[in-house]
Structure 1
Amino acid sequence: MPQIRSLFATRLYRAALSEHGPAIDPAELAASCYSIAEDDEAGQDWCETEGYPGYTSYASLTDLPWRFPIFADVVKALDGHVAAFAEDLEFDLGDKTLQLEDLWINILPEGGSHGLHIHPHSVISGTTYVAMPEGTSALKLEDPRLGFMMGAPARRKGAREELRSFVYEKPQVGEVLLWESWLRHEVPMNMSEEDRISVSFNYKWT
């Protein structure tokens, strides 16, 4: 009998943010995101210059946990999730730890999207979801081998998840997704009339 195994697994972590750290009210977190977006003129200018639809604090603010205590609570929860994911990945961290590198708000209105990208120089990246209205886009994850498949035929419709070229993960409000930072991902166009709100982050090995 032939032996067929799956090698080089790509892990995706999904859990309720509240499983680690204090409980966080999504409505309060959403209000904080909007308040920061309204006051962040530098971020607004960056989004306009770069053609970013909606708002992101990625290029303007580095102190969200200091500005609003609710973001400090988010970080406490994320630290627990990242530690659990690192254990699952069987990382040998030595005498170093995984620490938060940056944390930013994303507000995508109707028609907004964020193209395929990775998070260089980080180890674990992820997003926690604040508002996911009906009809909004899932997170699209790309098979990291895709660029090496050359003349391979397309997969059959309904192929097993581990064999698909793309996986669409639709998180719920209050959940967190984690992945290794080299994994390419995107947010397809938001087809909802309401804003899609999330908080993304990177952890580095230091």
Structure 2
Amino acid sequence: MAATSPTPAPALTAERILEATEEVLRRHGPAKATVVDVARALGVSHGSVYRHFRTKAALREAVTKRWLDRTSELLSGIAAGAGDPEARLRDWLRALFDAKRRKAGADPELFATYMVLADESGPAVSGHIADLIGQLTGIIRDGAGTGVFTVPDPAAAARSVFHATGRFHDPGYAREWERPEAEADFGALVELLLRGLSSR
């Protein structure tokens, strides 16, 4: 009987490296996790990891961007959808709050790790915020175009809405998200903002 050849290892891709990095960060935390740890988890040399990410900082920036992009992608479907802009804005803000609260509650160690990485990763965080404000701008612009919202500058209104709701999506407030009154506070703020956008 002919011997079967061993199954070749899957190709080393940037995505595989980022998945392994996330697991290493969860296990060791940001202070102790190294590129050597990531390479060991993948069964490759650390030089192989460096061929995809030239520095440890670049790898940490990329894994942070990947984490943030998950939220952006979730929200983009709501932002790009059709239908009543007021309902879309309400749904978008709800989805953002729920996504951030879920991340903080489901895996608190990894969430704490990403808070550290986000502080290091200026471009990733700035890009994420710009993307989210861009999504909000699109929703508010649609509302202004149909007369649902009465705002002269949708981009300025979007920035105001984003910053006004920061308590419900900025990771610095994560401890407050589980307070009994957080849900009522969130709902009241959203309704206040919607009234402000549509006031004549």
TM bucket normalised to smaller = under 0.3
The structure carrying a bigger helix percent of its residues is: 2
Relative contact order, CA 8 A, sep 6+: which one is greater? 1
The structure carrying a bigger strand percent of its residues is: 1
Larger Rg: 2
